[in-house]
Structure 1
C-alpha cells in the first residue's frame, strides 16, 4: 500500500492554539504538519484541518494556518471527524481513499477519527511525529492501538517521497529546493 498523491489527503486534527501549550511535542507536530502540508500543496494533495470547540480551545495554530494557505477547515462537535455528516460526505465525494492523519490529542480526536476512517474503508497513515497528546504515553498508546486496527505508521519524509515518486522531473526539483533542503534548519520557513 504505497501512498500516491492523486489518492491522498492530509488531515490535521485539532492543532489548536489554546490546546498546544499543554501538548507534549506540540511545536514539533505543528512544524511537521506544516512542512508536509506545504509539500502536499505542491503535489496536489488536499489539506484539511479540523477544530474541536474553537470557542474554548481557540482556532488552529496561526503558524500552521500561515504555512497552509490552501486548506479546508472543518469545525466539529464529534471527537471522530468522520462522524460529522458534512465532513464524511465531502471526503467520499473527493475520491481520496488514503488519509495521512495527524494532530492532537492523539488518544482522543486523532484516534477516534482514525478508527472512524478505517471503519468506513479508508487507508489510514498515522503521521507519527505529528500525532501528539498532553502525555507522551497516551500518544504512544494511541499509535499502538491504531496500528493494531490497521493504520500504517509513517514519517513526514516517507510520505513526501512517496508523493513525489521520482527525482528526475521539475516537480521534484522545485519541492526539493523549497522544502526538502531547508527542513532541518527552518522547519516552518518555506519561502
Structure 2
C-alpha cells in the first residue's frame, strides 16, 4: 500500500455538511471553504465524489456552496451515522471501486469517525482532511482525529491531498488547482 494519495485511487466523501448543523460547528467557515476547494479540485481531476446528508428533515440540505456544484445523483440521504453502514451508500462506494477514501465533513467524532472506521475495517484506506472536518466542540474534534489515527486511518491537510493528487508541477491541472488555494 502506498502512503501517498493518488488521484487514480481516490474517492472523495463529503459527510453531512448541512445547513442547520453547520452554524454550531467550531471553525465552520473553514470546513465549508476547504471542502469547496476539495470539491473543485476533485471535479477538475475527474475524481469521483459522494455527499451524505444525515436526516435532512431535521438538519437541512448540504450547504448551498457545495450543493450547487455537485450533481444530485451524488447526494445520498442516510439515517445511520456511518456512511458505510447505510446499504445504498455502501453499494455505491463499492461500485466506484476506489480504495483511498478522502473524507471531509462533520462531525469529526461522530459521522466522520464511524464512516472512517467502517471503511478501514472493510479494507479501504481512509484519509481524513483534518482542516476540512470539525465538531461543535474542539475537544471532540481532537479526540475524533486521535482515535481515527490510532485505528490506522491517515490524517492529511487539504494541501497534502491536492499536491499528492498532482504529483508534479508539470501536471496539466497544476495552475488551476494552485489558484484554488491562493
TM-score normalised by length of structure 1: 0.89
The aligned residue for residue 9 of structure 1 is 11
Asked if the contact 2:162–2:177 (Cα under 8 Å) also holds between the matched residues in 1, the reply is no
Measure the CA separation in 2 of the matches of 1:182 and 1:123.
26
SS, match of residue 102 in structure 2: strand
Measure the CA separation in 2 of the matches of 1:30 and 1:140.
18
Measure the CA separation in 1 of the matches of 2:169 and 2:124.
28
Asked if the contact 2:9–2:99 (Cα under 8 Å) also holds between the matched residues in 1, the reply is yes
Question: How do 1:79-118 and structure 2 match up within 5 A?
Answer: 79-118=81-120
Deviations 1:48-72 (A, max 9, x none): 1100000110000001223445871
The aligned residue for residue 179 of structure 2 is 181
Asked if the contact 1:38–1:68 (Cα under 8 Å) also holds between the matched residues in 2, the reply is no
- Structure 1 runs of 4+ aligned residues shifted over 6 Å read none
Structure 2's unaligned 5+ residue stretches are none
* Structure 1 position 3, deviation (Å): 0.9
Deviations 1:130-166 (A, max 9, x none): 1100001100100000000001110111101111112
CA RMSD of aligned residues (A): 1.5
The aligned residue for residue 134 of structure 1 is 136
Measure the CA separation in 1 of the matches of 2:149 and 2:65.
30
Deviations 1:24-75 (A, max 9, x none): 0111101101101101111111121100000110000001223445871111
TM-score normalised by length of structure 2: 0.94
* Structure 1 position 183, deviation (Å): 2.6
Measure the CA separation in 1 of the matches of 2:180 and 2:13.
24
SS, match of residue 74 in structure 1: strand
Measure the CA separation in 2 of the matches of 1:43 and 1:97.
17
Number of paired residues? 180
Deviations 1:93-125 (A, max 9, x none): 211010011111111111111111111110010
* Structure 1 position 171, deviation (Å): 2.7
Asked if the contact 2:31–2:105 (Cα under 8 Å) also holds between the matched residues in 1, the reply is yes
The aligned residue for residue 171 of structure 1 is 173
Asked if the contact 1:41–1:70 (Cα under 8 Å) also holds between the matched residues in 2, the reply is no
